[in-house]
Structure 1
Amino acid sequence: MTLIGSAGPLATAYDVALVDLDGVAYKGPHAIPTAPPALQAARDHGLRLVFVTNNASREPGEVAAHLTELGIPADADEVLTAAQAGAAMLADALPQGAKVLVIGGKGLRTAVGALGFELVDDAAAHPAAVIQGYHPDLGWRQLAEAAYAINAGARYFATNLDLTLPTERGMAPGNGSLVAAVVTATGVTPPAAGKPEPGMFLLAAKRAGAERPLVIGDRLDTDLKGARAANIPGLLVLTGVSDVRETLTAPKEHRPSFIGSTLRTLEETHPEPRQDGSWWHVGDARAHVVEGRLLVDGGSDIDRVRAACCAAWAAADAGEKLLVETLPHLGVAS
């Protein structure tokens, strides 16, 4: 399983991009400098955008307004949150009008209420289900109500299971960490709607009427794993969490179909990787693995990264042990 090529720009090869937010469009409160012009150029090529986020605390209109303030114009109907995906999961599992205890912010409450469920605030109301999403003000009392309801027989769902959440000050506990507290108290592990589960990407693609969707993300374990699970090509941009070293050692289910240093790669063609003996070639770059050591030369920075990934993945898939401590530095500027 390796990278694929694109004879023309990705922005013309695909019709809808399913775009992650943090690490792709922005970092903390600021846009990634290359993102606004690159996304506008992609729109100008005819690529439609849907912003797909595991954040369940904000409503789509708030997300769209934030993007617009950062120079990335967006409408609410171009945003799909984990809250909306979670509500859709409830709709598949419960009768309309069922009582649901929502543990999370207003984005999740709005999404669940919009599908006709009766929102309740505590276990004493005997909810049919509990759904939990991240909110910075969640505390012991809300988690306890969730546990009481689940232990009394309510079904348990989560918007996503991200263990960490990037903030301006660094990584903080994410929804998955808070869910773990309830799991410990109940012994019940909830299904999740958000990435890396495929349903969120499939729902976004369906809503957009996409025929040739492309996932764009910065995290191998959520964005790109979800793309693989949904059988949708995935583009990894190196502006966020996952770096080149992590990508070189990625398991099959986390591997992207394309790699770019920034979102500007949407305007570029992506050379088709080709194998010649033990060497993998991408553009003028080439790489191979000899006795566990990865050797790379030629070409541009990003093509060396691409060739290196092809060689490293092929070696790993053949059962060869890659000597991680000998991996060359292949960082690219973002």
Structure 2
Amino acid sequence: MSDQVLLERVLAAIRIVLLGVTAVLQTAMAGPVLFGNRSGYHPVWLGEAAFAVLALVIAVSSGWILRGRRVPAGVALPGAAVVLAAAAAAATTVPPEWYLLRQHWAFGLVGWHLLVLLLERTRPLLAAFALHAALGGAQFLLAVPLDRIWLGETAIAIVSVLGFQLAVGLIVQLVTRRLGQMAAIVAARDRAATRAALAEQWEHDQRTRFAGQLGALLPLLAGLADRTLDPRTDDVRHRCALAAARLRRLFAENDDVPDPLVHEVAAAVEVAERRGVAVSFAVSGEVVPVPTAVRRELAEPVLTALSAARTQARVSLLRTAEEVRLAVLADFAVTAGSPSRSPHVEVTAHTHGDRTRMEARWHVTS
């Protein structure tokens, strides 16, 4: 399980808990107070309507929360306004002697509704709580005598009720923010570990390829060193030219270029030109992404032909959306042989007199 998925599951669980707390408080605490003291509220129908509106907000919110999603902004923000309006309407039905007591059921209840709707939206949550406190305090102060005792009780009630609910919301946001930061740190660490592993694997592959090339080159070098091979013969010169072209292509394979296949073939062409071979290189078609292993197999016929060419060669690269074709026509000084075949690249060779044409074809969709 990824850290982001874990964070989403934690948030989903917190939302469900808040939804359950709000539903229980409304049905098990606010409901009995309202319906058990109906004669004290005027008009009672307005209080009951506010109660029904708050219940509807819970029902609508549960459609998203129970599916592990937060209430969308297009529903949450208007819903918060409806909740505040319902609280204000319910407060008008409460007689002054019940203000900020348990009979003032809506004042302490709607804060939980605001948490359900705006839990992960800090600024709207703070604004909604501030507006709720201002409306509740204003309604209270307009209904009771303005003396020091009543003002103190008002402040204590507002701070104790709304302060606890707001603290719950802010603590949840702090915890989820820390979880998000931890998830980002773990993800960054995993990415760094992945990059290090890929770099190590790439370095190992490079060492293996270089070792393979050097392993094939060592017998040639040893033969030249102990004079069992004569560099004046065409066969030995061809072997030396082929080894040089393969090494040059291998070095070019590590370069960061926009068109790797053209870059690697051009490197082999450069080796042939240094031997005095006149080489023309034509490219047609847009760049096609070709895997590294396939590029090696496509270039091998070109290396074979160019290393054996006597005076001139013509290399052509054709690329379409369906296939990549790399061909070379050269005058061979010696029998170059056929490059090794592979399951990915189809290689054909045809000889006409002193000229040989080799072509490697790779089907993009294969």
The structure with the larger Rg is 2
TM-score normalized by the length of structure 1: 0.27
TM-score normalized by the length of structure 2: 0.25
**Which has a greater percent of helix?**
2
